[in-house]
Amino acid sequence: MSSILLLTSSPRPDSLSSKIAVELAEKIKANNPGKTLVKRDLAADNLPHIDGPFTVAIRTPADARTPEQQELVKVSDALVDELLAADTVVIGTGLINFNIYSSLKTWIDNVARAGRTFTYTETGPKGLATGKKAYIVLASGGVYSEGPAAPLNHAVPYLKSVLAFIGITDVETVYVEGVAFGPEAAEKAIGAAQARASELALAA
């Protein structure tokens, strides 16, 4: 059975990126009752950061790993399996210091695995996590989708680059932006994002 993988990363209880990402994922699920919805709150999961022993472990063939190395890669393996099982990925993040939350970066570090989600070939790297549709929900106080601040938006270009590297090239973006410009602007931004999410869900 195909699944929708929902990744939220904001530590804020009133997170707009999480709110819209959840709504989008649930609308896709409602329009596709045969899919299962898998939710992962990266801010709460506290995933392990990669370190030296982990790097050695993932470069060791699975059948040659020590029990300690098997334990080190267990979480990463589970995350990769979760990603590969999904045909839809919804990612929610706020724009923090012009990029994504560190919790989301840690998830990426755990799933971008040579031999699992990408491989090296004679013609260069090739993504293995193909056949998936991804949605990025980005919330920000200012406007970063266009205009003078757009060059500071490193989050969406980075996420698209990483997703493409592992084989996910069909990506849509929902912006919840300008929410720091007052209650009226925030309400307008949320409404626009919800409308965009509904439109994308109908086409999913």
Compute the C-alpha angle 103/118/174, nearest 5°.
45
CA dihedral 136, 28, 45, 126 (to 10 degrees): -60
| Residue whose token pair is 């996420």 | 159
Write out the two tokens for 86: 């999904």
Task: Please check if 18 is assigned to a binding site.
Answer: no
* 16 labelled ligand-binding: yes
Task: Give the DSSP letter string of 42-100.
Answer: HHHH-PPPP-HHHHHHHTS-GGG--HHHHHHHHHHHHHHHHHHHEEEEEEEEE-BTTB-
* Count of beta carbons in the 10 Å neighbourhood of residue 186: 17
Contact 88, 28 (CB under 8 A): yes
> Residue 15, annotated ligand binder?
yes
Contacts for 16 with CB less than 8 Å, ≥ 6 apart: 94, 139, 176, 179, 190, 193
- Show binding-site residues for FMN: 10, 15-17
- Show binding-site residues: 10, 15-17
